[in-house]
Amino acid sequence: MDKIKTMWIRAGVAALLLGLCFTVYHTQCLLDREREIRFIDRVPVFLPNGKILKALSMGHYTSLADYFWLHSVIYFGRRAIDHDNMYYLHMLSSGDVKQAEHLKEDPAMHKETSGPRVSGEKQQQWVKNWHTAQSGKPQPPDSIPFMDSKAIPRIFDFPNFGTMDYIFPLIDRVTQLNPYFITPYIFSSVVVLSATGEIDWAIHLLERGYRNNAMRWELPFYLGYIHWIYKGDAETMVRYLKEAVQKPDCPEYVDGLLIGFSRNLKQEEITGLYFKSMLESTQNREIRERIQELLTRLESE
């Protein structure tokens, strides 16, 4: 009799534990649905500057730089690629219904148990913010005579302008913590700049990179690229390229660019050469993809 009683008690306790585990899981899912910002999308409410972060890191600033680098990449990826963001809402509000419908058919958008639930009011606020941001969007420079007028809006569409407010501040922290980490400079000057159009940020980062890595040819090379493509400033481009060719290990195609310019090649040919040189300069898959995309756009115009 006692044995049966003990058995029932044990079974009861086991059932209770299972029930509680299920309750915990289910309530967590419910709470997640109420959250407005996805975990991976969150940025720190207060991001101390790099010097303070360096002091706080207790000598582990390279690891902290890497952490912020990973965070930057994830942040960029979610904002640029993830459908579940303000860009989709903009599509809807701007009337680009076809694109919005295409996104709407994505099963991930309509799973009841996943993704944030956003109130109508919140949606309205985001759309309003988006429009405000668009009014401050940088315009392509007038003085790019080699560029066809059709090409300009294609290359300078800056699709993520105003949707990635923290990307440059994050990369800024990365480079303050570890100014010798080259990939963030190149990523920001090629991929991020073409998505957001924040030219001044890109130049600021590259200049820091150049100050700290004076013997690297890539930094003056990309500074020249920005001044050429985004500002139409040929003189500054040439100056930077001349500095780049002085650096050790500078590849020959950089010299080829300078030679091409001195031989008065057409400016679109120089731009094409520049993009091709940039393709050669990096093995990074994502950066190469973006450069190829820009090159394709240029060549198609």
Q: Which positions lie near other proteins, rule CB under 8 A?
A: 55, 58-63, 65-66, 69-70, 73-74, 178, 180-181, 183, 187, 283-287
Residue 208 or 239: which CB sits closer to other proteins? 208
Compute the least distance from the CB of residue 176 to other proteins, in Å.
Answer: 13
- Say how far apart CA 4 and CA 233 lie, in whole Å: 89
Residue 277's alpha-carbon distances to 195, 258, 274, in angstroms, are 20, 12, 5
Residue 60 or 117: which CB sits closer to other proteins? 60
Residue 75 or 156: which CB sits closer to other proteins? 75
- Say how far apart CA 64 and CA 173 lie, in whole Å: 9
Compute the least distance from the CB of residue 73 to other proteins, in Å.
Answer: 5
Of 274, 278, 272, whose CA–CA distance to 296 is shortest? 272
Residue 184 or 232: which CB sits closer to other proteins? 184
Compute the least distance from the CB of residue 57 to other proteins, in Å.
Answer: 8
Compute the least distance from the CB of residue 41 to other proteins, in Å.
Answer: 14
Compute the least distance from the CB of residue 279 to other proteins, in Å.
Answer: 15
Compute the least distance from the CB of residue 59 to other proteins, in Å.
Answer: 4
**88, two tokens:** 């989709």
Q: What is the 3-state secondary structure (H, E, C) of 27-63?
A: HHHHHHHHCCCCHHHCCCCCCCCHHHHHHHCCCCHHH
**Tokens 């995309």 — which residue?**
293
Compute the least distance from the CB of residue 147 to other proteins, in Å.
Answer: 29
- DSSP letter at 208? H
Q: Which residues of 59-88 are buried (b: 16+ CB within 10 A; e: fewer)?
A: eebeebbeebbebbbebbeebbeeebbbbb
Residue 57 · residue 155 · CB < 8 Å: no
Q: Which amino acid is at 80?
A: A
- Say how far apart CA 106 and CA 81 lie, in whole Å: 13
Residue 41's alpha-carbon distances to 5, 198, 293, in angstroms, are 52, 20, 26
Residue 11 or 52: which CB sits closer to other proteins? 52
Residue 178 or 277: which CB sits closer to other proteins? 178
Of 226, 181, 175, whose CA–CA distance to 200 is shortest? 226
Residue 31 or 58: which CB sits closer to other proteins? 58
